Amino acid sequence: MHQKTLAQLSALLQSKQVSATELARLYLDRISASNLNAFLHVDPELTLAQAAAADARLAAGNAGVLTGVPIAHKDIFVTRGLRSTAGSRMLGNYTSPFDATVVEKLAAAGMVTLGKLNCDEFAMGSANENSYFGAVKNPWDLSAVPGGSSGGSAAAVAARLTPAATGTDTGGSIRQPAAFCGITGIKPTYGSVSRYGMIAFASSLDQGGPMAQTAEDCGLLLNAMVGFDEKDSTSLERKPEDFNRLLNQSLQGLRIGVPKEFFGEGLADDVKQAIHAALEEYKKLGASIVEISLPKTELSIPVYYVIAPAEASSNLSRFDGVRYGHRAAEYTDLNDMYTASRTEGFGDEVKRRIMTGAYVLSHGYYDAYYLQAQKIRRLIAKDFAAAFTQCDVIMGPVAPSVAWDLGAKSDDPVANYLADIFTLSTSLAGLPGMSVPCGFGQGEKNSRRPVGLQLIGNYFEEARLLNIAHQYQQVTDWHLRSPE
C-alpha cells in the first residue's frame, strides 16, 4: 500500500477500498519505525482526528480528490497544532497561532497531516546538514545527504513515509533534494503559491511547491496549493486552472532547449550520462533538441549569494528574543540580551548569511554589491526570455553531481553554494522549475544515488511542464523505484 502514488491512494479512498484512518495509521507506523531523522514533530492523535474527519467526508459524499490522502509539511510552514521551528534552535519551542495558507488550503481539501519535516535552518542549505535538529539521511544510501533545504520532505517521500510533502524553493530547495532522493518536485512561477505563513528566508525568491512520486501527483497538489492570497503582497491574481489538464498531450514537435552552460566541466560523468539518456527518451517521444545558451549561468551563484543573504538579514531581524524566538537565560543589559539570544539561537550558516547580507546592504557597499546583483538578476531573466524564443522547455541536470556523503562538504560553505549552480538562475528569474527522476549515478562510493532531470518552463507553464514530465514517466519507471 505504501508504494502507491497519491493518485492511486485517492482512487482507493474514493472507492472505499481503504479508509483515511487506515492510511494514517500505516504511515504513522512507518514514520515511527524509520531512522532517517526526516520528521521533527508528529502528533498521532491530531493526525487520526483529521483522518476521522476525512472519513466522515468520504462517507457523506462531499470529499474531493485529495480528501483522506496523507501529507507532511516542511517545518518552514507554520501550523497551529504542531510546532514550527524552521530547523532552528531560535524557534525550538515555537507554536504558531495560525496555519500557513498552504497548510490551510491542503487541510480544506481534506488532506491529513502526518507531521512536520526536517529542513536546513531557515531553509539555508543544500544538504540538510544545517538543521539544529541534526542531518537527514538519504534513504537510498544512509551515508549520503538527502539534499537541501527540503531534505526531510524528499527523504520522507522517497522512503514512503508519506505519499506527498510540501517544500519550499528559494534557490533550488525543492528541485535539488527531489533529485538527490529520486522523487518528483515542482517549484511554480514566483507568486503562484502564497508565502503567508511560510517562514521567510528571501522574500523575492521563496516559493512553496509540492514533492511527490509523480508529476501527476504534483499537479493534483498544485491544484489545491495555488491561488491568490490577499495576505501575501506578492501573490498573483490569476484565473484558477487545472494543472493536470495537459497531462496526456503528445510531445510531438516539442522543442527542448539544452543550455551548453549546463554541460561544462563541472558536471559529473554519471549525471551527464543519465541526462543524455533522458534526452534520447524525449526524442523517441517526438521532441527535438535545440542547443541554447544561458550565458550568465555562472554569475547566478554570486548574484544569489548577495541577494538571498541581503533579504535574509532583514527577514531574520525579527528573531530577537523579544518579538520572536529563543531568549538567552543570562545577559547584562538589553543589547547583551539581543546579542546573547541571537548568538545562541542561530547556527553558523544563518549567522554567515546575516553578516553577508548586512554587509552588502550597508552604506558604501550597497551600490557595489546589492545593486549590481539586482542588475545581473535582470539580465539572467532576459537570457531566459531569449532562450524561450527558440524552445518550449529547457532541460538539463538539477545538480552537478549525485548526493554527496554526509559530512563531505559540511565545513565548506562555498562547496555547498557551487552545487546550486543549475537551480539558482530559475529562482532569480522567478520561472517554474521541476525535477524528475531519470536514473542513477554512483557517487564516490559506488552506491546507487538518484539523478534528477531539470525542466524549466516559461512563466505560468506549469501545466506544460507537468505534461512533459508525465509523458516521460509513462515510458520510464525511475520515479516508481524506491530504496527498499
Give me the residues that bind ligand GLN (CB under 6 A), please: 123-126, 149, 169-173, 201, 308, 420
The CB-of-364 to ligand GLN minimum distance in angstroms stands at: 25
Cell 518528483 locates to: 184
Neighbouring-strand partners of residue 436 = 453
Cβ(146)–Cβ(183) below 8 Å:
no
Secondary-structure percent of the chain, ordered helix, strand, coil, rounded to 5: 40, 15, 45
The CB-of-349 to ligand GLN minimum distance in angstroms stands at: 8
The CB-of-96 to ligand GLN minimum distance in angstroms stands at: 20
Nearest-CB residue to ligand GLN? 173
Number of H helices, E strands in the chain: 15, 11
As a whole number of angstroms, the distance between CA 345 and CA 385 comes to 42
**Is residue 13 classed as helix, strand or coil in its secondary structure?**
helix
DSSP string, 285-334: TT-EEEEE--TTGGGHHHHHHHHHHHHHHHHGGGBSSSSBS---S--SSH
DSSP string, 337-361: HHHHHHHHHS-HHHHHHHHHHHHHH
Active site residue 74: yes
The CB-of-152 to ligand GLN minimum distance in angstroms stands at: 13
As a whole number of angstroms, the distance between CA 473 and CA 7 comes to 14
Name the residue nearer to ligand GLN (CB basis): 417 or 460. 417
Among residues 149, 401, 410, 447, the one annotated as catalytic is 149
Name the residue nearer to ligand GLN (CB basis): 170 or 223. 170
Query: Residue 365 has which C-alpha cell?
Result: 557597499
Tell whether the torsion through CA atoms of 247, 249, 252 and 255 is positive or negative.
negative
The CB-of-143 to ligand GLN minimum distance in angstroms stands at: 21
Among residues 88, 96, 131, 173, the one annotated as catalytic is 173
The CB-of-299 to ligand GLN minimum distance in angstroms stands at: 16
Among residues 19, 74, 150, 447, the one annotated as catalytic is 74
The CB-of-16 to ligand GLN minimum distance in angstroms stands at: 40
DSSP letter (8 states) at residue 21:
H
Name the residue nearer to ligand GLN (CB basis): 202 or 226. 202
Amino acid at 424: L
Name the residue nearer to ligand GLN (CB basis): 271 or 287. 271
For residue 216, which phi and psi values (nearest 5 degrees)? -60, -45
Active site residue 296: no
Cβ(417)–Cβ(305) below 8 Å:
yes
The CB-of-455 to ligand GLN minimum distance in angstroms stands at: 17
As a whole number of angstroms, the distance between CA 47 and CA 249 comes to 37
As a whole number of angstroms, the distance between CA 478 and CA 176 comes to 16
Neighbouring-strand partners of residue 35 = none
Query: Residue 138 has which C-alpha cell?
Result: 538519504
Query: Residue 38 has which C-alpha cell?
Result: 526526516
Name the residue nearer to ligand GLN (CB basis): 58 or 421. 421
Name the residue nearer to ligand GLN (CB basis): 21 or 176. 176
Cβ(282)–Cβ(256) below 8 Å:
yes
**Is residue 186 classed as helix, strand or coil in its secondary structure?**
strand
Name the residue nearer to ligand GLN (CB basis): 171 or 210. 171
Starting at the edge strand that comes first in sequence, how are the strands of the sheet with 207-212 ordered? Answer: 39-41, 112-117, 70-74, 164-169, 207-212, 184-187, 433-441, 449-456, 393-397, 255-259, 288-292
Name the residue nearer to ligand GLN (CB basis): 125 or 188. 125
The CB-of-132 to ligand GLN minimum distance in angstroms stands at: 16
Name the residue nearer to ligand GLN (CB basis): 39 or 201. 201
Going by C-beta distance under 8 Å and a sequence separation of 6 or more, which residues neighbour residue 280? none
Tell me which residues are annotated as active site: 74, 149, 173
